[in-house]
Each structure stands twice: as structure tokens, then as C-alpha cells.
A and B are shown apart, each in its own frame.
Chain A
Amino acid sequence: MAAKKLSLKDKYRLLTRDLSWEPTYRDKKEIFPLEDFEGIKITDWDKWEDPFRLTMDAYWKYQAEKEKKLYAIFDAFAQNNGHLNISDARYLNAIKVFLTGISPLEYSAAQGFMQTGRQFSGQGARIACQMQAIDELRHAQTQIHAMSHFNKYFDGFNEFMHQHQRVWYLSVPKSFFDDARTAGPFEFMVAISFSFEYVLTNLLFVPFMSGAAYNGDMATVTFGFSAQSDEARHMTLGIEVIKFLLEQHEDNVPIVQQWIDKWFWRGVRLLGIVGWMMDYLLPKKVMSWKEAWEVYYEEAGGALFKDLARYGIRPPKHVEVAELEKEHISHQVAFTLYQYTHAAALHVTAPTEEEMDWLSEKYPNTFDKYYRPRWEYLREQEAKGERFYNGGLPLLCQTCQIPMVFTDMNNPTQINYRDTHYNGERFHFCSDGCKDVFEHEPEKYVHAWLPAHQIFMGNCGGADLPSVVENYYNIRMGIDNMDYHGSPDEARWKEWKGLRSVEDKLKEAV
């Protein structure tokens, strides 16, 4: 007689809960030394819920199927010269941002979930962390693998890990995860599983991957959606963690609220670069940053915080500032990268007339009033051969490490400076949100490794920007950086696509 198939519930109990044991010759506190110090009170780990009830055997089965589908597409992409089917080689600058800024975070997340899972005495939470650690490792590997095809044909892909550790704007994502991983285990879960995965990750993956699809990049959309299929599980872990902590003890509520406030704001700052990718780096645009924010934060996040209100949780602090920023942030980031393209690991362009019209349509309240005139001026300067480069080094925010470029959102011509004193020193911030984060844990953030400050201290390969860029960042001047127009990437693309102008051909004939 065939054995009766176990129900999902029984299988989960036997293959998850039943795998744990109570220690007999060691004190539990010795085994899980980090479980208490954040002040979180857990009274019953058995109340931990995994609504997907995924067990390791089913996990391997479905992950293997995802990988088979993914690698079949990578093969097809490479065999069919997929790099020639993208909308424009300019598109790849969005992918360079992804590879240097985001993929290393997947690896960091894998390490974070391994470290964190180890610290929980509840086996349900440990298994969930174990699965997510393996997922994150898979994401890092598949992303690097997908983009390795572009590395054969284009510049700017070959030093991504080195650059992630050193380049000024990449310290923004790097320090975000470093901050989470140096927090306690419960804060890590609220930071990454809840605030990042549940509240904000859709803003990164969903519209951006749709954008990749729209720009003909089959490899990226495929790894993106394959990774995203894991994210739905990560998001569920995020909301379950929050509910679990809030239901365990009322003393947990203010601690969790403070973490939600902190990590929401840290996440909002991190995602500024995604807004730039969506509004400025995709040659064929899908949706604006503002629209993505409205669908994936305001609508989805709004529903979430209404659901959590019964625990006494309110929407994150400074959410009203973030809502005003949706009209401005992508433009302000775009200006910054445009001015500093000589120190960036990618190529930029000023938007074309057509792109500016799209931005006007998507940002009727702000683009024509504040941003179009600046781009028009910069384009005029370019046409006169006086393209503007910012030769100075910017002051960075002590918390998010972004240059102090954001304005007061009610007065977009005034830069928003905040500062505070700690131990006789003055520290600078881009926003009240970042200042709050610092003031809650100043001992942590005084240690921030701020790239611009480190250059001035002589720790980054030289005293001038070209030496830092070439020697310390491993960015090849004029090859990996500067304007897309006139870059080797553009020249190769035109050659392959037969797009050389008559003028170019005449020049070569002479």
C-alpha cells in the first residue's frame, strides 16, 4: 500500500519544527547569546508562522526548476547574440548600476541571513533564514552570470566588486547593508525582511525588470523575475516577523516602531538611485519613479500600515517628506551623476528633447518649473564645447553617505542642510530622517567610512580626482566613465548595428 501523502501542515511540522531539540548540557542563553540584548521579548517561539509552509525538500525542488528555466534562457541569450537586441547600448548603464550597486548587496544579504539565522533559538525562524540565505546567494550568482555576457562586449563590468567596496556613490548601498548586518538579529530582520523586502523591494525589482523587458534585455528580466519569485517568500517572512514580534510582547512595539522609522528612511535614501535609473537611464521608459512610488509605496504600503495599526504601529516617521520627494528625487540624483561622470563607473547623457517631454508629462508639477531649464542650460554648454564637470568633492551625509544634494522639498532651490554636535565634533546630514538615525546611535555612525572625506585624508590612491579614479577605483578614464556620446561603448554599438553616420564614414575615409 502506498504511504499516505502528508498534508502541507504535517509535513511542515515534521520537517521543520520536529528537527529541533532542547539543549541538555549547555545553557540556551550560551548558545543564542544575541537573542536578548536588543530588548526584544520572545515568550513562545512556537507561535512563529510560515504561511507558505515550505520545507527544505520542496524548496530544493522548486528552486531547481527555477534555475533550469533561468539557465536555459541565459544560454539562448548568449547563443543568439542577445546583447545586440537591446534598445540601445546606453541602456547598459542602468545594468552597470545594478551590477556594481545591487548585486553585491545580494551577497551581503546571504551573509546577513546566515549570521542572523544562527542567532535565533526558534527553529521556524532559523529555517526561513536558511532558505533566504541560499536564495540571496543564488541571486548574486545568477546576476553576475547574466551580466558576464555583457562584460564580453562592453566596458564597465569587469571591476564591480572592487568598485562596490570603494566608489563614492556605491558606498550608499554598501553602507546600508553594513549597517543592517552590524545590528542585532531582530533589527536585521526588521531592516531587511520587513522594511526593505516588504515595503520597498517591489520598487526596485518590479518596475525595473519590466523596464529591462521593454528594453529587450532578456537576460536581466529573466534573472530579475527569477529572483523576484523568491522575494514574494521574503516579503511574507518580513510581514510575519513583524506580526510575530508585535504579538509576542507589548514592550516590543516601541522598539519595532523605531526600527521601522529608521529603516524606512534608510531605504528611501537607498532607492533614490533606482528613481534615476527608471527616469533617466532606460532609453525606452516604462513608468516614472513617481508612478512606481504611488503604486508600490503609497498604495501597497498604505494598505500594510492600515493592517498593522491594530498593533499600535503607525506609518514610518518622515513618510510625508518621502511623499514630497517623489516629484524631485530622480532629477536631483541625475544632476549629481551628470556633474560627476568623470568619477563614476558608467556613462551618462543629458536627456534628449524627447526624454524631456516625457519627463514633463510625468512630472507636470516640477519638471518644467525646476529641472528642464537646468538641463537645457547644460545641453547648451555641451553644444558650445563647455560641458560642465564638478571638480570639487561634495560633503556627504554622515548617515546615508549621499552627497548633500537634496533640497528642501517645499523649496527646491534650497539645499537641505542639517547638523548636530557629538563629542565636540560637528556632523552633517541631508535630512531630518538621517539626522534622527544618527542621534539615536551616534556611537555607530561616527565610524562611517565616508568616501569624499577619505580622499581628503589621503587614503584613496592620490591627491587629485584622476589618480583616485584610476588607481583606487580601477575606473579607466574615458573608457568606463564620462559621457556615453563619444565613448568606446557607443562606437562599438554603432559599428555592430550599422549606425555610423555619413560624417563618421567620411572622416575614416580621409
Chain B
Amino acid sequence: MSKVYIALQDNDESRYIAEAIEEDNDGCSVIHQPAMIRIEREGKLVINRESVEEKMGRDWDVQELHINLVTIGGNVDESDDYFALEWNQ
């Protein structure tokens, strides 16, 4: 299985998103690089709206992710409640 990944600009909002990802995705690795946070995991990675809202303490629209996104690898699946990256092989 290949790794999917997401990189976010290293800022106050991304910190909460990264925390939510870390809690919801067992075994993912979080790598801090200059000015960005890269998170990768074998096969699949999910960002749940509810978990991010819990961390941020406010409503969060999944599409707000666009503001802090740097790059992604994997097929995207997005709904009102989650954003997922996955390889199909």
C-alpha cells in the first residue's frame, strides 16, 4: 500500500487541523518542515469536520481547508462532514 499525504501551512489554524488528523488516523506520521506540516499515512487519511470543530472551538467548513493547504497526494473524497485521501490499488 502506498502513502497518501497532506501538507498544510504551519500556522495557528493548521495546528488544530493537524491535531484532529493525528487523533483520527492511527499510525499517521506528522513531519514538521520549514513553514509547513506534512502528514502521511499508509493507504488513507481522513479529516473529520467534527473533530476539527472540537479542537478549534468553532464551526468549521471542510472547504476552509483550501486556505491553508499546501499539497496533497491521493484520490480526494470530500463531503460536508469529511475530507479524505485514499489510494485505490
Interface contact A65-B78, CB-CB below 8 Å:
no
Does B26 sit at the interface, judged by CB under 8 A?
Answer: no
Within the complex, which residue of A62, A232, A304 is in contact with B71, where a contact is CB–CB below 8 Å? A232
Q: Which of A226-245 contact B (CB under 8 A)?
A: 228-229, 231-233, 235-236, 239
Does A300 sit at the interface, judged by CB under 8 A?
Answer: yes
A-B contact count (CB 8 A): 92
Within the complex, which residue of A8, A214, A235 is in contact with B80, where a contact is CB–CB below 8 Å? A8
Nearest-Cβ distance from residue A209 to partner chain B, whole angstroms: 7
Given A8-B79, A210-B33, A307-B75, A66-B2 contact (CB < 8 Å): no
Q: Which residues of B contact A126 (CB under 8 A)?
A: none
Q: Which of B5-40 contact A (CB under 8 A)?
A: 5, 7, 9, 33-36
Does A153 sit at the interface, judged by CB under 8 A?
Answer: no
Q: Which residues of B contact A299 (CB under 8 A)?
A: 3
Interface contact B36-A62, CB-CB below 8 Å:
no
Q: Which residues of B contact A205 (CB under 8 A)?
A: 71
Q: Which of A292-313 contact B (CB under 8 A)?
A: 299-300, 302-304, 306-307, 309-310
Given A9-B79, A52-B63, A54-B63, A286-B69 contact (CB < 8 Å): no
Does A77 sit at the interface, judged by CB under 8 A?
Answer: no
Secondary structure at the A interface, as helix, strand, loop or mixed, is helix
Does A51 sit at the interface, judged by CB under 8 A?
Answer: yes
Interface contact A307-B88, CB-CB below 8 Å:
yes
Interface size on B, residues (CB 8 A): 31
Q: Which residues of B contact A225 (CB under 8 A)?
A: 9, 35-36, 70
Nearest-Cβ distance from residue B57 to partner chain A, whole angstroms: 20
State in angstroms the CA–CA spacing of A307 and B66 once bound together.
Answer: 24
Nearest-Cβ distance from residue A288 to partner chain B, whole angstroms: 14
A303: nearest chain-B partner, CB-CB: B2
Per-residue contact bits, chain A 61-83, to B (CB 8 Å; 1 contact, 0 not): 01001100100000000000000
Does A166 sit at the interface, judged by CB under 8 A?
Answer: no
Within the complex, which residue of B2, B33, B70, B89 is in contact with A232, where a contact is CB–CB below 8 Å? B70
Q: Which residues of B contact A300 (CB under 8 A)?
A: 5, 73
Within the complex, which residue of A51, A66, A235 is in contact with B78, where a contact is CB–CB below 8 Å? A51
State in angstroms the CA–CA spacing of A333 and B9 once bound together.
Answer: 31
Known: A8-B79, A303-B3. 9 other contacts (CB 8 A): A8-B62, A51-B77, A51-B78, A205-B71, A211-B34, A299-B3, A302-B2, A307-B87, A307-B89
Taking Cβ atoms with an 8 Å cutoff, the residues of B that contact A are 2-5, 7, 9, 33-36, 62-64, 66-80, 87-89
Query: 27 pairs across A/B with beta carbons < 8 Å?
Result: A8-B78, A51-B75, A52-B63, A53-B78, A54-B66, A62-B66, A66-B66, A66-B67, A202-B71, A205-B71, A209-B35, A210-B33, A213-B34, A225-B9, A229-B9, A229-B68, A229-B69, A229-B70, A231-B71, A233-B66, A236-B76, A239-B75, A286-B34, A300-B73, A306-B2, A306-B87, A307-B75
